[in-house]
Amino acid sequence: MQTINAQAIADAGKNAAADFSAAATTAFNGFEKLAELNLATAKSVLTGTLDSLQAVAAAKTPEEVLAAQTNLVKPLTEKATAYSRSVYEIASATSTELSKSSKEKIAEAQKTFNSSIESLTKNAPAGSEAFVTAFKNAAATGQQVLDSAQAAAKQAMSQAEAHVTDVVAKTVKSTAKA
């Protein structure tokens, strides 16, 4: 007969709380980096805009006004491209860290689940071999489905990253031509 181990349950609860805390800290750090980026970008854009407005106000000819306005647009485009790239890098780094942590936790959970199944099947009553075999097959099938889903998610993420990288590269290239 299987007995309930209260200490194991308490330890599992502590581990779950620690895992949640680590994930929340990682996510918060990502949000903090985004907030810092937003403040720095806003300050930079404001400063650049004020400088350009002063240049427009100081212009004495229409050509100088046009040149000052042109000088305003190009840095804004470059800053927007740099901002987009930085947001992507922060989001990607945070996502990678969370993904790595979750993969480790999933692997631990699978190991615990598999050892629990082995323990339960060793203590199964006589005559339940067919049920035990069916249960093990169902668990193996579930694992295969999970592995396929993880592979599909990883492939989709890789494609999205490639697309974003391509868009940023094209934007940088078109900005450089302007």
Please report, as a single letter, which amino acid is at residue 7.
Answer: Q
pLDDT of residue 1: 46
Q: How far is CA 71 from CA 52, 56, 99, in A?
A: 7, 10, 42
Q: For residue 36, what are the CA distances in angstroms to 12, 33, 88, 89, 142?
A: 36, 5, 14, 14, 43
What parts of the chain have a pLDDT lower than 70? Answer: 1-6, 8-9, 12, 113, 116-117, 120-121, 124, 146, 149-150, 153, 157, 164-165, 167-169, 171-178
pTM to 2 decimals? 0.56
Distance between alpha carbon 111 and the CA centroid of its chain, in Å? 25
CA dist., res. 84 & res. 90, Å (int): 10
Buried b vs exposed e over 97-106: b needs ≥16 C-beta within 10 Å? beeeeeeeee
pLDDT tens per residue across span 56-86: 888 888 888 888 777 777 777 788 888 888 8
| DSSP symbol at 77 | H
